[in-house]
């Protein structure tokens, strides 16, 4: 089974960025642990701060992989283009967030892409990604 994780803008700063909200672990360390724990799954990771690059990655894997776990960061709330890309591909997409977006500012309560996703996981820290992964497993 091939699963792609995609992180959007500012998520390259995980571990350093607002640790009170996003924790103090960097994503690379977490990803290595996740890969070791679920070694039966072909897990790939991609991060970009650029909207178009996120769209290109969705197109690249979206007809081939078995699942996509995306944290589009702030683009979640603003990007019609990423929402359209999620709607246009074949691979099911799970939207994840580290923080509980519903416990934060009003502008974080709306996701442009949510209606095109299989499900949403929000508020479990980095564990949100693991829960996303489990949702693709039998």
SS3 content of the chain, % helix, strand, coil (to 5): 45, 20, 40
Residue 87: closest CA among 103, 70, 105 = 70
Max Cα separation, the chain? 39
In the beta sheet, which residues pair with residue 103?
Answer: none
Residue 137: closest CA among 37, 1, 6 = 1
**Identity of the residue, 40 or 105, whose beta carbon is nearer to ligand DQA in the bound complex:** 105
Minimum distance between the CB of residue 22 and ligand DQA, rounded to whole angstroms? 7
**Identity of the residue, 42 or 52, whose beta carbon is nearer to ligand DQA in the bound complex:** 52
Q: Is 104 annotated as a binding residue?
A: no
Q: Is 109 annotated as a binding residue?
A: no
**Identity of the residue, 37 or 110, whose beta carbon is nearer to ligand DQA in the bound complex:** 110
Residues lying near ligand DQA in the complex (CB under 6 A) are found at: 10, 71, 73-74, 76, 97-99, 101, 108
Contact 9, 78 (CB under 8 A): no
Chain position whose Cβ is nearest to ligand DQA:
73
Q: Which of 46, 75, 97, 129 is catalytic?
A: 97
**Identity of the residue, 69 or 101, whose beta carbon is nearer to ligand DQA in the bound complex:** 101
Contact 66, 135 (CB under 8 A): no
User: CA Rg, the chain, in Å?
Assistant: 14
Minimum distance between the CB of residue 36 and ligand DQA, rounded to whole angstroms? 23
Is 102 among the residues known to form the active site? no
Q: Is 66 annotated as a binding residue?
A: no
- Hey, which residues are catalytic here? 22, 97
Binding residue ranges for substrate: 71, 77, 84, 98-99, 108
């Amino acid at each position: 089974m091939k699963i792609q994780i995609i992180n959007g803008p500012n998520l390259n700063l995980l571990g350093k960025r607002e640790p009170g909200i996003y924790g103090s672990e960097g994503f690379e360390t977490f990803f290595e642990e996740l890969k070791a724990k679920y070694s039966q799954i072909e897990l790939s990771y991609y991060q970009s701060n650029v909207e178009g690059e996120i769209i290109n990655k969705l197109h690249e894997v979206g007809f081939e992989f078995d699942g996509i776990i995306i944290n589009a960061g702030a683009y979640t709330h603003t990007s019609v283009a990423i929402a359209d890309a999620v709607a246009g591909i074949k691979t099911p997409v799970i939207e994840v967030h580290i923080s509980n977006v519903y416990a934060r500012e009003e502008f974080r309560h709306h996701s442009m892409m949510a209606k095109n996703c299989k499900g949403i996981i929000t508020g479990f820290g980095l564990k949100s990604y693991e829960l996303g992964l489990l949702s693709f497993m039998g």
